[in-house]
Amino acid sequence: MTRPGNPSPGLAGLAGDGQPHPDGKEARPQPSAAERARTLVESNSSLALTIPALRPRPTGPELPLRRSVGPDGDVFLLVPASSWAAAAVRHAADDEVPAVLEATDVAPVSVPHRVRGRAWVAGWLTPVPGGAFESGTELLRLEPGDITVDDLWGAGPVEPDEFADAVPDPLAAVEADMLQHLAASHPHEMELLCALLRPDAGCAGGARCADGPGARPAGRQAVAAVPLALDRFGLRVRFTGPEGPFDARFDFPSPVAGPAAARRALRTLFAAASLDG
């Protein structure tokens, strides 16, 4: 059992693109691939819709105005009525239009390698008659066929029925605000998390992660700590030191159900770090 505030046993290494990736040793529990994909599609991630067979090929992807996921896992996309995506679906009449929706998740705080993950939903696009509730827009339905997620937890496929049954992370709607608050208002607490890392992590022994109040032990290299991701299971922090960036996961004592519980869990985490520091 992991005591409150302990980091997951595994720390992320660096992939060839410089982005920290899991080393395969992270402790459970963790969100499933379906939950992560559903969270990416329904959260504030940037969406880009493409129709590979469309000719002439558009100069760029369609950027949906709004999105939602129905109870059967269908993705509903509100697009301008004048868009090429809406035109392609209209011209297809009763035929389904093969399309790919890409969701790109970017960290809401300034860190190296800010893209945290991507999800792709490939399927068939059809119109939703009378579904648009805004003038000059049309509502399209994307029925998923193939789904893939590639993020800080790893990469893998997702079955459409798993996607339909999955529930987005309960902190997704407030994650950006909470991470920005931690980065701006709690830098000292973020520094203290260094004390919970194992000695070979490059940031341990109660040292200050970055210059701030208090003296850093002689010879200790400065390491910056920035909150990178927050979900119901814990906090992920990106540390950047002399050898480059690496990630560490800090587990909550138990999964949280919402923002209030997450704030309590973060206080518990920081208290544990303070004791070890």
d(CA 219, CA 43): 43
Contact 125, 140 (CB under 8 A): yes
The domain segmentation of the chain, as residue ranges, is: 33-165, 173-276
Could you tell me which CATH number the domain at 33-165 has? Answer: 2.30.110.10
pTM of the predicted protein model: 0.83
Nearest residue to 41 via CA among 104, 129, 123: 104
Nearest residue to 203 via CA among 186, 184, 185, 216: 216
Contacts of 242 (CB under 8 A, 6+ apart): 202, 221, 223
What pLDDT digit, counting tens, does each position of 120-168 carry?
Answer: 999 999 999 888 778 999 999 999 999 999 999 999 999 999 999 999 9
Contact 62, 48 (CB under 8 A): yes
Could you tell me which CATH number the domain at 173-276 has? Answer: 3.20.180.10
Contact 217, 203 (CB under 8 A): no
Helix, strand, coil fractions of the chain, as percent rounded to 5 = 25, 35, 45
What pLDDT digit, counting tens, does each position of 174-211 carry?
Answer: 999 999 999 999 998 998 898 788 665 555 444 444 44
Exposure of 77 in the CB half-sphere (CA atoms within 13 A): 32
pLDDT given for residue 60 in this prediction: 83
